[in-house]
Structure 1
Amino acid sequence: MPAHRVQSFPWYHSSRQKPRRWPLALRFIKGSVHANIIAPIVFYTLFTTLVVFIDQHLNINLGVPSTVTPSLSIVVGLLLVFRNSSSYERFWGGRQDVSHIVSNVRNLSRYFMLCGPNESDEDRQDTEKAVKTLVAMLFAMRSSLREDWGIPDKEEEPEYTDLLPRGMQGHENWGVALPLELAFFVEKYIRKGHKRGNFQAPQASMLTSQLNAIIDGYGHMETIRLTPIPVCYQIHMKQVLSLYCLFLPFSIVDDWNWVAVPMVALIAFTLYGIEGIGQEIENPFGLDRNDIKMDNIVRDARQEITTLLECWKQGKEEHFL
């Protein structure tokens, strides 16, 4: 974006980034996985120090042939590639689901405002309620994926509670997901428009399909959220990494002597860092810096649709035609 241009509201929150004060290569806290991998790095550094000390000062030769290391390196590399690719696939799949859901909410909102049963004040109130409910579904999905159950207090999150149908309590304590419950209000509105003749049968079917696509996208995100990487793979991954890092000092101590200590620390940092990235992004719906910016995406969608809704309420929808 040119420096002279003022950023406008489309994607305002989603695209907003703080200027970087330090190059990414020098960042060790915010957004990194270093805090999660410091323990194994310190352990293998100390272990290598012990191996080198025994080999150099106690005259006990601990060196072993280094021919096994390349073969084990290939196995470790393949495991890490699969681990990270599967994790990023989950991250990218979740982001695509969010995008598809927002697109369907946009389409339904536009169609309701322009083609819905809006002949009377009561009809227009129902249309406003349906559009707000669609936006509320975005907030409900975000909260549900974070296991933030229940409807928040009005003072806690007014931009969410103001969108919900009046008097709605929710039945999450009975095992009903709030996005699914909100979908009933939207489907009821589509049926009303079909009975009134505002939506012909093909149109009503198309609108219901888009509503179903929202629920399908939410279901796919639930699958990502509730399906962890198989524990057998995680166990074997940890064991292979440990075996490699424990064997490495013995294979390089004869050639590198004390230089083996920083070398093992660097290799452990690299391998465990890659594995830590996979763990970080396999559940992309949380609040970490590396997760999908759900709050900002939902906030942008709310701003976009409520602005159009306010114009529509004032009878200015012809400005968009």
Structure 2
Amino acid sequence: MPVARSESFPWFHSSRQKPRRWPLALRFIKGSVHASIIGPIIFYTLFTTLVVFLDERLNISLGVPSTVTPSLSIVVGLLLVFRNSSSYERFWGGRQDVGHIVSGVRNLSRYFMLCGPNDSAEDREDTEKVIKVLVAMLYAMRSSLRWDWGLPHPEEEPDYTSLVPPGVQGHENWGVGLPLELSFFVEKYIRKGNKRGNFQAPQASMLTSQLNAIVDGYGHMETIMLTPIPVCYQIHMKQVLSLYCLFLPFSIVDDWSWVSVPMVALIAFTLYGIEGIGQEIENPFGLDRNDIKMDNIIRDARQEILVLLECWKQGKEEHFI
């Protein structure tokens, strides 16, 4: 059995802390897409009720052959599969980018602490500052992906602002992202180590490549955020779903009568729920319950790196495991 931890442990914030009290099949509010699809479900339920009422009570024959429904259902299924697979690919790609960026920050931090130019007290201060800048880049990327420009007030988010070098305010109002601006501090430190001989040319090149990989990962997340599903596909998806759900009552009313009402409601719930999931996860960098937990991942990375940094400042490198 895993050992219980009273204070903290790796992934303390980003891992699940408590068991679910209710089975997921009984959850209708937190984390679900029901609120966004309730409108279409109510509409198609009322529409089916009207169709059945006219067919049964007023003896107006509205039934049509059901042979068209299977062909249309295949088209709807293919569209939904493509929609959700594309959205989840974006979600998973974003999560991989976050993981790669955190790994890059870990690698650079470790290398700077153990191999950087740390001969004098001033050098060690520079190393401490650049490691904090690396962690600050994680916060800056998160904020940029949420259209949250500039640094927050120190009282609002001290964990973030305490990592940024004094005087840095960002030039985002000029079109320069703060993550890119902070990367200059890291590159400058690598050049300093290269000039002093702490980093040989191959090592400096490797460190720069690691920094480039962090910036590339951020660029890929920007691509996900700024490239929504094409509107032509979204329009056709909505139209096909509407056509199918509007046609369905006419194809089953003769066989199912009033049972058609709950059946259409159930089918609309299923189809629009799948489509709603695709919309929910196509941009995974926000604050919704189904988005990537970037805040918690960054808090865990910050805790991890700053604990190692504190040990390094006290000269306890030999205790690193």
Task: Give the TM interval when normalised to the shorter protein.
Answer: over 0.9
Amino acid at match of 2:48: T
Q: Give the aligned CA root-mean-square deviation in angstroms.
A: 1.0
User: Which whole-Å deviations, capped at 9, do the CAs of 1:203-253 have from their partners, x for residues lacking one?
Assistant: 000000000000000000000000000000000000000000000000000
Is residue 226 of structure 1 aligned with residue 226 of structure 2?
yes
Aligned to 1:13: 13
1:21 shift after superposition: 1.6
Distance 1:212 1:255 in 2: 63
Alignment of 1:191-202 (within 5 A): 191-202=191-202
Instruction: Give the aligned partner of residue 298 of structure 2.
Output: 298
Per the alignment, in what secondary structure is the counterpart of residue 13 of structure 2? helix
Structure 1 residue 9: Cα displacement: 1.8
Aligned-partner Cα distance in 2 for 1:315–1:18: 37
Q: Which structure 2 segments of 5+ residues have no match?
A: none
TM-score (norm 1): 0.98
Cα distance in 2 between the residues matched to 1:6 and 1:306: 19
Equivalent position of 1:116 in the other structure: 116
- Specify the alignment match of 1:238 in structure 2: 238
Residue 70 of structure 2 is matched in structure 1 by: 70
Within 2, Cα distance between the matches of 1:16 and 1:162? 27
Alignment length (residue pairs): 320
1:45 partnered with 2:45: yes
> What percent identity do the matched residue pairs reach?
87
CA deviations over 1:167-224 (Å, ceiling 9, x no partner): 1111011110000000000000000000000000000000000000000000000000
* Displacement after TM superposition at 1:22 (Å): 1.1
Residues 1:97 and 2:84 are matched in the alignment: no
Tell me which amino acid in the other structure corresponds to 1:211: L
1:160 CA displacement: 0.3
Q: What is the alpha-carbon distance in structure 2 between the residues aligned to residue 199 and residue 118 of structure 1? A: 12
Distance 1:88 1:25 in 2: 21
CA distance in 1, matches of 2:17, 2:273: 24
Deviation at 1:16, TM superposition (A): 2.7
Match of 2:169 in 1: 169
Question: How do 1:208-219 and structure 2 match up within 5 A?
Answer: 208-219=208-219
**Partners of 1:23 and 1:169 in 2: how far apart?**
47
Q: Tell me how far apart the structure 1 counterparts of residues 285 and 230 of structure 2 sit (CA, whole Å).
A: 19
Amino acid at match of 1:118: N
Cα separation, 2, equivalents of 1:5 and 1:283: 35
Provide, for residues 114-164 of structure 1, a one-character-per-residue CA deviation record: whole Å limited to 9, x for no partner: 000000000000000110000000000001001111001110100000000
Q: TM-score, length-normalised on structure 2?
A: 0.98
> Structure 1 stretch 106-115 or stretch 17-26: which is displaced more?
17-26
Q: Residue type of the partner of 1:96?
A: Q
Asked if 1:267 corresponds to 2:267, the answer is yes
Summarize deviations over 1:230-289 as a string: whole Å, max 9, x none. Answer: 000000000000000000000000000000000000000000000000000000000111
Q: Distance in 2 between matches of 1:108 and 1:94?
A: 21
Residues in 2 aligned to 1:178 and 1:318: alpha-carbon distance in whole angstroms: 35
